């Protein structure tokens, strides 16, 4: 607990172009959670270098992602928005936790298997140890809740295993975090293959709406979105493309799927696609504008980066010192 509030931690990588899925599925919920919980939202740049990055691009994208957090409505005075690499405790705790994590359990991580297949020429130790760094992220802040997508559940499980193991050896040290499963966790699917999640790494640019897409591009992508040949507007699993369009419309407008189905009953898919496209344009245009304005305000953003890194370091150091003491590192001399 910090200030009588439960602690919530989450992170996002600045690699690839963020999509509407990242926004509606994650960021928009982060904003809602920020009033109720003490939130730490990190730009996890240390995770990003597990695959090769162009340094200038990574630096620029990391900053833009931090700005996007603010543009999306997070108050940087309340939620701690910071770069993972600015808080050295992440690396230090990750090393210690590496020594309490077994090769065998890491070998089971499905994301490691997927990513090694994808980057066969660069299967580095960091990629393998990625979940331990994620565990360090979470455990450093005595986190109660972690809003994550289904693809990160296995990493959260291993975080809990590592924390329990450490607590069993050394006594109560870490809070055991739980997944926060959102009530309306909009899961946004690819516009070209609605059985797949909308992904920033999709090779087909028409499959994803990027947050910085201009209005015409957005409208065009929705026009081309894959639907079905049933010809009837309904909200059901068998019409996955349509269901996805309705979910997007619902997440943008706050309407329920039922309301949307009755709103469009008797109309064609084309009309629904057009409406969804407009709703997304209306949602993203102000966001893009706020990002552009904040990008220009260098000293304001720099101030946030500095203050929040200090705030995160303060809380992280408390846990790290406790852990260092428990494993037997000599006390610091002040």
- For position 198 contacting ligand TRP by CB under 6 A, the verdict is no
Active-site residue (options: 78, 118, 183, 200): 200
- For position 101 contacting ligand TRP by CB under 6 A, the verdict is no
**Interface of this chain with ligand TRP, residues 270 to 289, rule: CB under 6 A:** none
Q: How far is the CB of 29 from ligand TRP (least distance, A)?
A: 13
Interface residue with ligand TRP, options 7, 127, 132, 146 (CB under 6 A): 146
Considering only the stretches 130-138, 233-241, 248-256, 280-288, report the one whose residues sit in contact with ligand TRP under the rule CB under 6 A: 130-138
Residue with smallest beta-carbon separation from ligand TRP: 11
Active-site residue (options: 115, 243, 273, 283): 115
- 318/322 Cα distance (integer angstroms): 6
Whether 243 is catalytic: no
Ramachandran sector of residue 142 (left: φ over 0; alpha: ψ -120 to 50; beta: rest): left
Interface residue with ligand TRP, options 6, 8, 13, 313 (CB under 6 A): 13
- For position 128 contacting ligand TRP by CB under 6 A, the verdict is no
Which structure tokens are listed for 200?
A: 């920033």
Coil, strand or helix at 196: coil
Considering only the stretches 9-17, 168-176, 217-225, 303-311, report the one whose residues sit in contact with ligand TRP under the rule CB under 6 A: 9-17
Q: Which of 86, 66, 55 has its CA nearest to residue 13? A: 66
Whether 200 is catalytic: yes
- For position 134 contacting ligand TRP by CB under 6 A, the verdict is yes
Whether 255 is catalytic: no
Q: Is 43 exposed, middle or buried (0-12, 13-18, 19+ CB in 10 A)?
A: buried
- 265/162 Cα distance (integer angstroms): 51
**Interface of this chain with ligand TRP, residues 54 to 83, rule: CB under 6 A:** none
**In angstroms, what CA-CA distances link 325 with 37, 48, 313?**
29, 30, 18
- 204/208 Cα distance (integer angstroms): 8
3-state helix, strand, coil in the chain (%, to 5): 60, 10, 35
Which residues in this chain contact ligand TRP in the complex, by CB under 6 A?
A: 9-11, 13, 44, 47, 134, 137-138, 146, 148, 152
* Residues with catalytic function: 115, 197, 200
């Amino acid at each position: 607990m910090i200030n009588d509030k439960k602690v919530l931690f989450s992170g996002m990588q600045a690699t690839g172009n963020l999509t509407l899925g990242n926004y509606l599925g994650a960021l928009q919920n982060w904003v809602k959670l920020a009033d109720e919980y003490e939130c730490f939202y990190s730009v996890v740049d240390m995770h990003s270098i597990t695959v090769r990055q162009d340094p200038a691009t990574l630096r620029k994208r990391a900053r833009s992602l931090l700005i996007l957090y603010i543009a999306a409505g997070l108050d940087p005075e309340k939620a701690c928005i910071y770069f993972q690499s600015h808080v050295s405790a992440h690396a230090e705790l990750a090393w210690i936790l590496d020594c309490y994590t077994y090769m065998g359990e890491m070998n089971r991580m499905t994301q490691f298997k997927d990513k090694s297949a994808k980057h066969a020429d660069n299967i580095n130790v960091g990629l393998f140890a990625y979940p331990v760094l994620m565990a360090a992220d979470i455990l450093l802040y005595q986190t109660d809740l972690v809003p994550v997508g289904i693809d990160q559940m296995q990493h959260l499980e291993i975080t809990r295993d590592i924390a329990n193991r450490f607590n069993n050896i050394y006594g109560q040290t870490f809070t055991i975090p739980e997944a926060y499963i959102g009530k309306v966790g909009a899961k946004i699917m690819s516009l070209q293959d609605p059985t797949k999640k909308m992904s920033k790494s999709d090779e087909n640019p028409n499959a994803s709406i990027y947050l910085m897409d201009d209005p015409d591009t957005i409208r065009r992508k929705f026009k081309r979105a894959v639907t079905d040949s049933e010809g009837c507007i309904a909200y059901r699993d068998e019409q996955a493309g349509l269901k996805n369009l309705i979910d997007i419309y619902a997440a943008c407008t706050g309407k329920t799927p039922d309301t949307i189905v009755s709103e469009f009953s008797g109309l064609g898919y084309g009309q629904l696609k057009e409406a969804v496209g407009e709703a997304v344009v209306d949602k993203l245009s102000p966001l893009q504008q706020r990002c552009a304005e904040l990008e220009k305000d260098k000293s304001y953003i720099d101030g946030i980066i500095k203050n929040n890194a200090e705030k995160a370091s303060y809380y992280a150091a408390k846990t790290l010192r406790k852990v260092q003491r428990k494993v037997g590192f000599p006390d610091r001399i002040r």
